[in-house]
Every structure is written in C-alpha cells, then in structure tokens.
Amino acid sequence: MIPRPELRHDLSVSYELTTGATVSGDLVDAVRLALPQLDLRPGDSGEIDVRRDPELGEEAYRLTVGSRGVEIAAGGRAGAFYAAQSLHQLLPHASYRSAAAPSWPVPGVRIEDAPRLSWRGLHLDVARHFFPKREILRLVDLMAAHKLNRLHLHLVDDQGWRVESRAYPLLHEVASHRPRTAINYYREPEAYDDVPHGGYYTLDDLAEIGAYARARCVTIVPEIDVPGHASAILAAYPEFGATGERYDVLDRWGVSPAILSPLPPTVEFLTTIFDELIGALGETPYVHIGGDEVVLDHWAASAEISAYRDSLGLATANDLQAWFLRRLADLLAERGARAVVWDEAFVSGGLRQDTVVMPWRGMGVGRRAAAAGHDVVATPVFPLYFDYAEAASPDEPMAIGDTITVEDVAAFRTAPEEWKDEERARIVGAQAQLWTERVADPRTVDYRLWPRACALAEVAWSGTGQAGFMERLEEHLGRLEAMGVEYRPLAGPRPWQRRRPHRPSVVRVADVMDRLDTMTHDAESTRPSV
C-alpha cells in the first residue's frame, strides 16, 4: 500500500482542503503533481505552505495539518512530492477519482518520515509482450502514488527489440515483431497462436516517458540485455553475432544460444545504442546491461573470438564475458551512468566497483556481492517475481509457477539480522520483477502487480512490512478501485480474471530457489537456470 509513515499523531483540529488551495514556496510543482485532482490556485480559502529544510534528506519530509492549514517541510523536491502523497492518503477514496468533490476534511496530523531504501523499484518486461506508451505512463502514476521511484524497463530479449534506432533502423523495423507467440504450458508440447505481435517506443516516446517519470520522482532504468538473449538483435544485424548466423525473432519462451560477439564492432554498435537511449531519455543515472543466462558455446568455438580473448590475456570465455561487461560499464560511466547487472555477472567476476548488482537467484549471492563492496538491489525470485501465481489453484490465470503471496512479499527482509553492518549498508533497494511470457495484456499486468506491489512499496520504504499491514491493505484497496486498477482481490480472482487456468505445482518456487542458490556458487553458472 502507500507506505505508512513512521510517526503520525492526530492533533486536536481538522482542516478542510479545498479545490482552490493556495500553494506557496519553490516546491509547488511537486505538490501539484501529487494532488492532480486539486486545482491548486492562489487566492482561495485553503492554504498549503511548502518550504525546503536543508537538514532533511532529499526524500524526507514533515507534514503538519493544523489550525494554520497544511505545512510541508521537505529536504528536496522528492520529499515535497511524497509529503503530498501522504496528504492525499488522508483524503477519502473519492479524491483518487478524476471527477473529484470540491473539498474534503483532513484530520489534524503531524508526520515525519523518510525512506529506508533509496531504490524502490518495479521491473516490467516489455520485450516478451509489448505495452504501449500509455501503459508505461499509467504505471508511472501508480508507482508515484505508492512512493516507488525506479521503473526498470526490460527493452530487449530473444522475443523482441522495443526501441527505435535511427543509426540501426533494422532493429525497430525487423527485430520489434514476431509472426506468432507460444501459448503452451511449461514443459508441454509447443503450440502457437499464429497472431503477429510487436511494437516499439520511438525516441520521442522515450523522451516523453523520461520527462513524465522524472516529474513524478521516478527514474527510468533502461535494460539492454547482453551478450545473451540476442535472437532479436541478430535477426536484424547478424554481423554482430558470434557466428554471423541470422536468427529469427524467437516466438517461444526460454533462451536461445544466440549471443553477441565481444569484438570491437559490437562494442561500437552498443555504444551508439547507449548514446541514442540516453540522448532520448535525458538524465539516465543507471543503465542495465543484463549479463544473465548466457550460453558461451559460440565464443569458445570461434577461432577469431578465442584469438581476441588471448590478445587480452584472458583464460576462459567466462573471463571474456566479465571483460565485455566491464568495457560496457566503462563506456556508460563516461556518459554519467552506472551499469546494473544480474547476479551471474557478479559471479563471473571483474565488475567495476560501482556496478549495481541485482541478485535474482537469491539473497545469498546478494550478500556476497554486498560483502565485495557492490551496491545491491534485492530482486530474488522468491518473493519478488510477480509472474509466479498467488495461489496453487487452477482458478489463477496461467503462470510460470507458484506460489508468491501478498503476505510473502510483506514479510520479506532485504538484509537479515545476522548480516554484518557493512553488508546491510550495501542493500540500497528492493525491486519486484514482472516477466511477461504469460502476461499478454494490461489487465493481466494489473492483476499480477497489485496488491503485491503495495506490499513491496511498504517493504522498500520501511525496510520491512509493518504490523497491521493486511488490515491497512484492505482499506487501501478502495484507493486502487478509485484509480481503476484491476487488482487481484485478496480472496482470489473474479470470474473474468481466471482466463486460461494455471497448472498448479508444475514449478514450485521453493524448489527453484534451492536450485538457483546452488548454482550461484559456480563461477561458470551463466547458462539458463530455470
């Protein structure tokens, strides 16, 4: 839900917030954006005073509602924005609708609050199934209402490329679509829908998305997943592959052996792509470069690549992958961006020290990355992979496996007590992943994300789920309804949300986590893990 502030005391007065409330101070736009239903114009009866307090952190705030009206003190623009979100939470659910009442009573309160984690994220896979710009902007709005501040967009995979490139136009002309999509259950005979699927964001779209998100204190984290997951890229430009073979954009799930070459022309190609991405998005502090589930066979079999590896003084293909990812991270650093990778890249070694690690295979490898001095964003399959079903029941829509519940997410601790202080300090965030092999439309995105993302918001803001979360969540569902979110009811799906039935217990998340943790201790565990 919208994270509950740590300190909140009812005062003896209440206040009526009107649609003509006055806002003063230099953080006005943040408050206006957080309260879009209020027409905050000067000269009317209500008053909201906003001021900067340099003693507070950038995202910290104090909110007081009393006889003098509404007073907000914030460390920065983000703090003012989050103070206004907390103020909004005090209003009736109707205030989250577009057609709002002229005024609402606000209880007298004093709130002092700040987030525990700086990275509070959601990941959306737009490569397996594409979601147009309007859905991204809507997701940004929902994230902002929940004080989530990182939107990680998985822009390329074997099944599609999702960004316009003016330098390499075949990427969006050829690699952005496939003629059909697999619809079979996991480990069952292949079946296809024979319906073309595709789409991409223009550079103008990305510029709009970047600006829209920044205004709402959300940072876009684009991911160009390399060197594996490369079928779509090599369908357009096979010369950047390890073999020169042209691939088709993959129409089934899983991972192909397609891999980019590590040679200089590929690095130049990717540098151009990074420049286009960053140029379109604007300020881009992080770029995710993947490094996961890489099949290195073609590198080992290539005489040219092996000779290049030897010229660099590297012993193995794994060493070469580590070098390749570090080279890309160096290029990003020159452009003012930090590289982010999945945990296989850390296990292979050789990362830049400022590279952010996402341990999807469990917090055991996350702890090792933290101990090595890397900033870590917690992303473990359990409990933060939201493509898993919320119940082991055929009533659920088809999912890869089961079960990850709202309660599981709320109980997640990013850094257990037994960790050393210096390890815990390196856990800078938590992020939920929504992979979309089995999520083909925006209604299913809503169903998979909410209300589990409400629990994530509380964990990421507070460091752990607070007492009474489920009771407060039930109240918060009224806000989701007012915002038009087609969330999963706590009691189970509505009849029209069941769709294609889930096959329970085919993939158990507990078994997956046991296997993944074992693999993270192998420096050559780059191959597909699930």
What pLDDT, in 10s, does the model give residues 327-362? 999 999 999 999 999 999 999 999 999 999 999 999
The residue assigned the tokens 């879009």 is 36
- Report the pLDDT value the prediction gives residue 19, as an integer from 0 to 100: 53
Window from 60-64, 88-92, 404-408 with minimum mean pLDDT: 88-92
List, in sequence order, every residue forming a beta bridge with 47; answer none if it has no partner.
Answer: 22
pTM higher than 0.85: yes
List, in sequence order, every residue forming a beta bridge with 160; answer none if it has no partner.
Answer: 157
- Report the pLDDT value the prediction gives residue 173, as an integer from 0 to 100: 98
Question: Mean pLDDT across the stretch 139-162?
Answer: 98
Higher pLDDT, 404 or 15: 404
End-to-end Cα separation, the chain, in angstroms = 31
Query: Quick check: 428 pLDDT over 80?
Result: yes
Query: Quick check: 14 pLDDT over 80?
Result: no
Q: Which residues are catalytic?
A: 157, 229, 293
Confidence of residue 45 (pLDDT cuts 50, 70, 90): very low
In this predicted model, what pLDDT tens digit does every residue of 268-278 receive, in sequence order? 999 999 999 99
- Report the pLDDT value the prediction gives residue 28, as an integer from 0 to 100: 72
Residue 325, H or E segment: helix 317-334
Count the residues in the chain.
530
Q: Which two tokens stand for residue 402?
A: 């089961």
The residue assigned the tokens 């140029």 is 279
Rounded CA-CA distance 52/240 in Å is 51
List, in sequence order, every residue forming a beta bridge with 260; answer none if it has no partner.
Answer: 241
Query: Beta strand pairing status for 69-74 and 119-125?
Result: unpaired
Helix or strand or coil: residue 474?
helix
Rounded CA-CA distance 426/435 in Å is 26
List, in sequence order, every residue forming a beta bridge with 123; answer none if it has no partner.
Answer: 152, 433
- Report the pLDDT value the prediction gives residue 530, as an integer from 0 to 100: 39
Tell me if 167 sits within 8 A of 272, measured CB to CB: yes
- Report the pLDDT value the prediction gives residue 291, as an integer from 0 to 100: 96
Kindly give, in sequence order, each residue whose CB lies less than 8 Å from that of residue 128, ignoring residues fewer than 6 positions away: 157, 159, 160, 253, 435, 436, 437, 439
Rounded CA-CA distance 189/507 in Å is 16
Tell me if 461 sits within 8 A of 147, measured CB to CB: yes
Average pLDDT over all residues of the chain: 91
List, in sequence order, every residue forming a beta bridge with 61; answer none if it has no partner.
Answer: 74, 113
